[in-house]
Amino acid sequence: MDLILEYQSQLISGTLMTIKLALSSLVVALFFGLLGAWAKLSSNRLAQRVANLYTTIVRGIPDLVLILLVFYGGQVTLNNTGAATGLWGYVEVSQFIAGAGTIGVIFGAYFTETFRGAIMAIPRGQIEAGISCGMPQSLIFRHIIWPQMVRFALPGFTNNWLVQLKTTALVSVIGLQDLVYNAFTAGRSTDKLFTFMAAAFVIYLVLTGISDLLLRALDRRYSRGVVRA
């Protein structure tokens, strides 16, 4: 315990990095998720094809493979294109950008399915009823679509977010100083790896626990008035 207190600044900075990484990749994931859901629901054949290809590829390749590919391969590609076109000089892709970007794109595919399901679950008649009452588009979205879309998407969102938070641990493999990386180096230097990995274990448990509680409260708020069997 004393040992953990001695290294607490390392653990805290690692935890903050993990949270920062998870939240940044969530923003990317939500963007790609909405884009993907829009593409899958649109009448444009090409958009549907591209979105299907995107979700299939992401589902087929493990996260760590993509992270490594983007981090090492992306760097080379970027610099080769820069050298060939002469538009930019040497750039270095940071671990944070590679990690947040890749995890965001990966989970965007999972959010695509969540959002698509949520939008499809809203009865069409309700929107038509709104139109016939003379509601403007913005009011229909605010009062009819949004509250129900959130309600239908929340269980899937909670699930995706918890998986995503845990996936960020993989970024320690490319050397980003997140919770796992810092706990590991602290454990290595003191020869007490179990103590520090257990500390990381508990911190992850706390993070997922807090997310779970908050999202459940949100779920209660958005499913007021829904009778559950």
Partner 1 sequence: MENILSYIPLDIALIAENFDRFMYGVWITLNLTFLALLLGGLLAIPIAIARASGHRILNPIVQTYTYVFRGTPLLVQTYLIYYGVGQFEVIRQSFLWDPILSSAWWCALIAFTLNTAAYTTELLRGAIADTPKGEVEAAIATGHSYRSRMRRIILPSAFRRAIPAYSNEVIFMLHGSVVASTITLQDILGVGRWLNGRYYLAYEGFITAALLYFLIVLCITWTFRWFERRYLRHLVRREVTSETNLPAPTTT
List interacting residues with partner 1 (CB under 8 A). 57, 59-66, 68-69, 72-73, 75-77, 162, 166-167, 169-170, 172-173, 180, 184, 187, 191-195, 197-198, 200-201, 204-205, 208-209
Q: Assess contact for 108 and 28: CB atoms under 8 A.
A: yes
Nearer to partner 1, 47 or 197 (CB): 197
CB distance 191 to 157 below 8 Å: no
Q: Give the H or E element holding residue 163.
A: helix 146-167
Closest residue by Cα to residue 91 from 76, 101, 103, 104: 76
The CB-of-44 to partner 1 minimum distance in angstroms stands at 26
Nearer Cβ to partner 1 (96/140): 96
Q: Which is nearer to partner 1, 74 or 147 (CB)?
A: 74
Q: Do 179 and 169 touch, CB atoms closer than 8 A? A: yes
CB atoms closer than 10 angstroms to residue 98: 22
- Give me the least distance between CB of 204 and partner 1, in Å please: 4
- Burial of residue 187 (number of CB atoms within 10 Å: 0-12, 13-18, 19+): buried
Nearer to partner 1, 30 or 64 (CB): 64
Shortest distance, position 41 Cβ to partner 1, whole Å: 22
Q: Which is nearer to partner 1, 145 or 197 (CB)?
A: 197
Instruction: Count other C-beta atoms under 10 Å from residue 42's C-beta.
Output: 12
> Minimum Å distance from CB 34 to partner 1?
22
Least distance to partner 1, CB of residue 207, Å: 8
Q: In whole angstroms, how close is the CB of 4 to partner 1 at the nearest point?
A: 14
Output b/e per residue, 200-228; b: 16+ Cβ within 10 A. beebbeebeeeeeeebeeeeeebbeeeee
Residue 95 or 167 having the CB closest to partner 1: 167
